[in-house]
Chain A
Amino acid sequence: QLQLQESGPGLVKPSETLSLTCTVSGGSISSSSYYWGWIRQPPGKGLEWIGSIYYSGSTYYNPSLKSRVTISVDTSKNQFSLKLSSVTAADTAVYYCASGGFAFDIWGQGTMVTVSS
C-alpha cells in the first residue's frame, strides 16, 4: 500500500525559499507510471495544484506559480521535493503531496507552513 509523508519546516520567513520533501513508502517512486504532485490549501480556502513530476522526471507547474516553483525527485531516497522561492504571507497554507495517474488517489496527511518573520 503506497503511503506518502510530507516533511519540512513549519515556519518560513518572507522572501525566503520554502522547501518540503515527500517520502514515498510501500512502492518505488521510479517504477510506477504515476504523477507525483504538490497541492496546497490556504487556511479556510480551497485546493490549488502547485505542480507535478512524472516518474520519468518531467515536471509540470501551475502557470500562476511557475516562476517560483521547482519540483525534483531523488530516486535513491524514494522522495520528491518542492521548492517555492520568494515566499510571502499568501503562501501560508497546508501543503499536501499526492500521487496518481489522472486523479490523485494517494495523499499525504499534509503539513502546515506559515510564512512570517
Chain B
Amino acid sequence: DIQMTQSPSSLSASVGDRVTITCQASQDISNYLNWYQQKPGKAPKLLIYDASNLETGVPSRFSGSGSGTDFTFTISSLQPEDIATYYCQQYDNLPTWTFGQGTKVEIK
C-alpha cells in the first residue's frame, strides 16, 4: 500500500505569511496527487488536482507542485479565511485513494 506522510501536522502563521505544507509518498506516484481544504464542521473541498492544477474558482494564492514522491502545497499569502486543515490524497493505484494525515493551519 502507498503511504502518504504530511508535514507538519500543524502550523501557526501570521496573516500575509507564505505557508508551505509537504506530502511525501512511500513510492513514485507521478503527479497523481490532490489537495483538499477542510474547514471545521464542513466537508472537504478540492483545491488542487494532478499535483499542480488549480480547481475552478479556487484563489490563485493556493498552488501545488511536485512529482514522484515529494509534493508541496503553498499558500502565498495567508488569509484569515484559510484557517482549515489541509489534506493530500494520492490516486496512483486508482481506483483506490489514500489521504495524508492532514495539516492544521492556524493564525498566529
Do residues A102 and B49 form an inter-chain contact, with CB atoms below 8 A?
A: yes
Known A103-B34, A103-B49, A103-B89: A109·B98 in contact at CB below 8 Å: no
Contact of B1 among A63, A103, A108 (CB under 8 A): A63
Known A60-B96, A102-B34: A47·B55 in contact at CB below 8 Å: no
Known A46-B99, A49-B97, A60-B95: A110·B89 in contact at CB below 8 Å: no
**Chain A interface residue count: which class?**
20 to 34
Main secondary structure of the interface of A (DSSP, over half): strand
Main secondary structure of the interface of B (DSSP, over half): loop
Give the total of B residues in contact with A, Cβ under 8 Å: 25
List the count of A-B residue pairs having beta carbons below 8 Å apart. Answer: 59
Chain A CB within 8 A of B62 CB: no
Do residues A62 and B96 form an inter-chain contact, with CB atoms below 8 A?
A: yes
Do residues B96 and A107 form an inter-chain contact, with CB atoms below 8 A?
A: no
List 7 extra interface pairs beyond A48-B99, A49-B98, A109-B42, CB under 8 A.
Answer: A47-B36, A47-B89, A47-B102, A60-B95, A63-B1, A102-B91, A107-B44
Q: B-side interface residues toward A, CB under 8 Å? A: 1, 32, 34, 36, 38, 42-46, 49-50, 55, 87, 89, 91, 94-102
